Amino acid sequence: MSGGDRRARRAASERPAAETGSGEPASAAPGDARARFLALDPYRVRREWARYEGTAQRDLFRQLRVRFLLRYPGRTGGRLEVGPGPGRFTPFLGGTGGPKVLLDLSDRMLASAARRLPAGSEPPALVRGDGSKPPFRPGEFAVVVLFGNSLGFAGDRGPSLLASAAELVRPEGLLLLETVAGSGEHSAYLARLPPGAVRRLIHAPVTGVLPRIQREGFIPEPDRSPERHGFRRWSETDLRPALEPAGFTLVESLSVAPLLGSFPGPLETVRRDPVAWSRLLELEEAVGRTVPRRRRASALLSAWARFPTGPG
């Protein structure tokens, strides 16, 4: 067992019983976002896992996130996932360059994440705790991941969660985030085509399809105003002043599925055609990287690299 793994396991064992045991903290206030995650029952854990399987739409959302994570294996060193939930993306965290550590408020989520790893995988260190007060040293990890909109659900505590996560990234390390920037949108052109026509169109090279999509533009999705539930949105404009002074620079920013993410029907047709599905993933990424799509993203993935003395 590596030094990083031993430190994580030791930190977990030294946490107070309220943070590492199976019981829930008695001080959790009703209605508080933190309390909701502490009180997760098995049904909610299973429901969270099922959010990314069973339909072509869920497959699209899952595969775009997996592809994003696989682009950032990081250098040798520990990998930390803050708020892994049931472990949907844990197997793809940071390649094989070091031990994995999972930090979550919920014992049930941690147990699920450990149980669902592929056979033969090295078991991660499981640490129950609060991401805004992590039991780790600054600069301890080569890759730190906050997916599942952990920042958004943290509400007013989001800035402290982001600062704590950023502090754990070592020089030349990576911080990978999932946030909500806007209400989302969809392609006006693809939305008006029958599913079969969408499938045939996507068979064309990405460069041949993009001009028509860009000419007809995008239609905003209805704004569901998650802020009223204490949820906070984080755009690149919000992230930059929090991360750039700490030596981070943006490597990639991607809006998840701005083309067809809102249309399960055409997606089912495209999913049955392996060539069209592969092209769709490439097309969604090409469009999702453009600045207007990132500004309105209902799911924004961003990769930030930390430089020893800051960018430049």
**Domain chopping of the chain, boundaries:** 3-184+221-256+297-306
The runs of H, that is alpha helices, within 181-301 are 188-191, 195-202, 206-216, 236-243, 264-271, 274-288, 291-295
Supply the pLDDT for residue 197.
95
pTM: 0.85
pLDDT tens across the length of the chain (312 residues)? 444 444 444 443 333 222 333 333 333 444 455 555 555 567 688 888 888 899 999 999 999 999 999 999 988 889 999 999 899 999 998 776 678 999 998 888 999 998 888 887 888 999 999 998 999 999 999 999 999 989 998 889 999 999 999 999 999 999 999 999 999 999 999 999 999 999 999 998 888 889 999 999 999 998 876 655 688 999 999 999 999 999 999 999 999 999 999 998 899 999 999 999 999 999 999 999 999 999 999 999 999 999 875 443
Bridge partners, 104 (sequence order): 128
Supply the pLDDT for residue 116.
87
Q: Answer yes or no: are the C-beta atoms of 98 and 2 closer than 8 Å.
A: yes
Supply the pLDDT for residue 285.
97
Pair of tokens at residue 251? 């490597």
Supply the pLDDT for residue 36.
55
Q: CA 288, CA 271: separation in Å to the nearest integer? A: 19
Pair of tokens at residue 57? 């739409």
Supply the pLDDT for residue 311.
40
* SS3 sequence of 40-89: CCHHHHHHHHHCCCCCHHHHHHHHHHHHHHHCCCCCCCEEEEECCCCCCC
CATH number of 3-184+221-256+297-306: 3.40.50.150
